[in-house]
Amino acid sequence: MMSSRSLAIARSGTRLLLVDPAPFVLTILMPLLLTAFLLPATKAQLTQSGYSGATGSEQLIPGLSVLFALLGTALVGTLFFREHAWGTWDRLRASSASTLDIVLGKVAPLYAVQLLQMGVLFLAGALLFGYRPNGSVIALIVVIAVFVAMVVSYGVMLVAVFATMDQALVIGNLGGMLMGGIGGALAPASALPGWLQAVAHISPAYWALDALHKITLDHAGLADVAPSLLVMAAFTLGFAIVAGLRFRPSDAKVGTT
């Protein structure tokens, strides 16, 4: 349960996000555009892998959603670092809100926005590109919810570890691209070179994509993707622990407005 202070911070954070929705819109439009371009090639690849009747969206919609959600961790950094640039961070700290209140209040709207972004992408994928998972829709929703929690946790860890917004953005984007690429966001992990397949399991994105792949193409339900959910939860917890250990509210951070 969020405190009234957390709710106030979350409400304000939502307003700050809505004032400039461009980054959010971009993370929806870019994957949809890429899907349109890559659809024929991906369809051929899936057909070759034995999924006759696939449209290509079965790989592209989950893959690009996961990739752009990971790249969206920049948004987490933005919301935290801008507080420092605007001089409002100390005002938050001087209030009767606890550090946990502040962090929860900041990440709640980010979680909602990331969830919305993935939801819109899957919905647009269904409407525009014929994306139809043959497994459990409930499982799909749970996987997305847990994956987004992991992404937000990763973003908070970046904020805790890095002193400047630029550092967090560069490492966040690079890390997001690596995790997505290795995890099979751009091509199924099974289609990657052998040495990449061997290391794919260390990518948090792999577990999300593995679960989404099973739900989309292999008739999977919640029980089938439970192991992936557990691994994602473990990653979420791991990122949160590192963030908790490294997060110092009094640290001077350099952000840009």
Nearer CB in complex with another protein: 1/127:
1
Distances (CA, A) of 155 to 41, 76, 79, 173, 178: 32, 5, 10, 10, 15
Binds another protein (CB under 8 A): choice among 46, 61, 71, 92: 92
How far is the C-alpha of 66 from the C-alpha of 182, rounded, in Å? 12
- Per-residue binding string, another protein, 109-138, x by CB under 8 A, is ------------------------------
- Nearest-approach distance from CB 105 to another protein, in angstroms: 9
- Per-residue binding string, another protein, 42-81, x by CB under 8 A, is ----------------------------------------
Cα–Cα nearest to 63, from 101, 35, 88, 96 = 35
- Nearest-approach distance from CB 49 to another protein, in angstroms: 47
How far is the C-alpha of 249 from the C-alpha of 231, rounded, in Å? 29
Answer for the pair 111, 144: CB distance below 8 angstroms, yes or no. no
Cβ atoms within 10 Å of 158's Cβ, excluding its own: 25
- Nearest-approach distance from CB 165 to another protein, in angstroms: 16
Q: Which residue has the tokens 């989950």?
A: 62
Q: Does 14 bind another protein (CB under 8 A)?
A: no
How far is the C-alpha of 170 from the C-alpha of 84, rounded, in Å? 18
Tokens representing 94?
A: 């001087």
Backbone angles phi, psi at 88, to 5 degrees: -95, -15
Q: Does 20 bind another protein (CB under 8 A)?
A: yes
Binds another protein (CB under 8 A): choice among 50, 53, 87, 194: 87
Residues numbered 211 to 230 that lie near another protein (CB under 8 A) are none
Nearer CB in complex with another protein: 219/248:
248
Binds another protein (CB under 8 A): choice among 38, 61, 97, 113: 97
Binding site for another protein (CB under 8 A): 4-5, 7-9, 11-12, 15-16, 19-20, 86-98, 250, 257
